[in-house]
Amino acid sequence: MKIAIGADHRGYRLKEALIKYLKQNGHEVVDVGTDTDEVSVDYPDYAIPVAEMVAKGEADRGILICMTGVGMSITANKVDGIRAGLIYYPELTELARKHNNINVLCLPGGYMEKEKAFQAVELFLKTEFEGGRHERRLNKIADYEKRRCG
């Protein structure tokens, strides 16, 4: 699977660990940055490129990390077709995929241990969308996006 990943300075260390984890598990990774945790940067500069890659089909899924994950989630969800989910507990990832078909996983770099992040990513990549009543709900969101932008 091709994964786009990005982080601000507060998510940099977790991003680097996740890149290694993803590659070890056979995934192609596109790292949009940042390249250090020593310089303060702005999370939208990383959230937008990752979300756009996923929306355009240039990546299968996206992963974003900042201190709380909130800024990344807010920004990614501004891109049409993106369903970014902020996950603090790995167990919620499975439901977010099954019920909400999230295509961008947002993680709190300052509040999640590496092992928990690895669990969340594994569930994010292996869990399939259930469809059914959940698809009906997501279609309503997509219809709104079309009306708003069209």
In whole angstroms, what is the distance from residue 99 CA to residue 60 CA? 18
Q: Of 9, 66, 134, 149, which one is the catalytic site residue?
A: 66
Q: How many CB atoms lie within 10 A of CB 146?
A: 10
Question: For residue 106, which of 61, 139, 142, 145 has the smallest C-alpha distance?
Answer: 61
Q: How many residues does the chain have?
A: 150
Here the tokens at position 8 are 């601000």
Is residue 66 annotated as a catalytic residue, yes or no? yes
In DSSP terms, 31 is beta-bridged to 5
Structure tokens of 7?
């982080």
Amino acid present at 79: V
How far separated are the first and last CA of the chain, in Å rounded? 32
Q: Of the residues 9, 99, 134, 149, which is catalytic?
A: 99
Residues with catalytic roles: 66, 99
